[in-house]
């Protein structure tokens, strides 16, 4: 388990450099960080696992860019641990964690609640484009007990 200091550091990296998404196809939760300095990404992988890949660079004079990615339950575990320290991405993390409740059991085809996952994915995408007001998130009544 990462120390409190490591969790606060990682939350700062996610807040400033990271990306939290819920895929529209399948509702998979993802946490990503892209950077040209591999040391940061290696530290994230050391703390939470995940993969580091090289991003394609289209201009020869640019530094190579790398990205670290964490998916599904591993992403949820990392976000849950960092949540007390997140500031700018706290709302996205909370929605990402909520999305895990709409994912069906592994191996059961079509058991995800696609409408709820789509609504959460759209809300996370909306939060990336900050405005003064966001439209209300519509969650079916029978699912609202999960918000308490």
Residue 40 CA to residue 86 CA, distance in Å, equals 17
3-state SS, one letter per residue, for 73-99: HHHHHHHHHHHHHCCCCHHHHHHHHHH
Q: How far apart are the C-alpha atoms of 8 and 14, rounded to whole Å?
A: 10
| Digit-coded pLDDT (tens) for 15-29 | 999 999 998 777 899
- How far is the CA of 70 from the CAs of 108, 141, 145, in angstroms? 23, 31, 28
Q: Can you give the pLDDT at residue 122? A: 86
Q: Which CATH number fits domain 4-129: 3.40.50.800, 3.40.190.10, 3.10.28.10, 1.10.10.10?
A: 3.10.28.10
Return the domain boundaries, the chain: 4-129
| Average pLDDT per consecutive 10 residues, the chain (148 residues; last block may be shorter) | 96 96 86 95 98 82 89 95 94 92 61 79 81 61 58
- Cα–Cα nearest to 43, from 13, 18, 4, 87: 13
- CA dist 134 and 142 (Å) reads 23
| Average pLDDT score, the chain | 85
């Amino acid at each position: 388990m990462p120390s409190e200091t490591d969790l606060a550091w990682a939350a700062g990296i996610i807040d400033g450099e990271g990306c939290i998404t819920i895929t529209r196809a399948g509702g998979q939760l993802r946490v990503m960080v892209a950077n040209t300095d591999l040391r940061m990404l290696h530290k994230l992988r050391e703390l939470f696992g995940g993969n580091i890949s090289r991003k394609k660079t289209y201009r020869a004079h640019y530094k190579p860019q790398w990205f670290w990615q964490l998916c599904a339950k591993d992403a949820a575990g990392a976000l849950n641990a960092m949540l007390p320290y997140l500031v700018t991405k706290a709302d996205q993390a909370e929605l990402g964690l909520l999305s895990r409740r709409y994912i069906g059991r592994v191996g059961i085809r079509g058991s995800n609640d696609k409408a709820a996952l789509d609504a959460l994915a759209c809300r996370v995408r909306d939060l990336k484009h900050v405005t003064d007001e966001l439209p209300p998130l519509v969650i079916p009544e029978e699912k609202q007990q999960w918000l308490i």
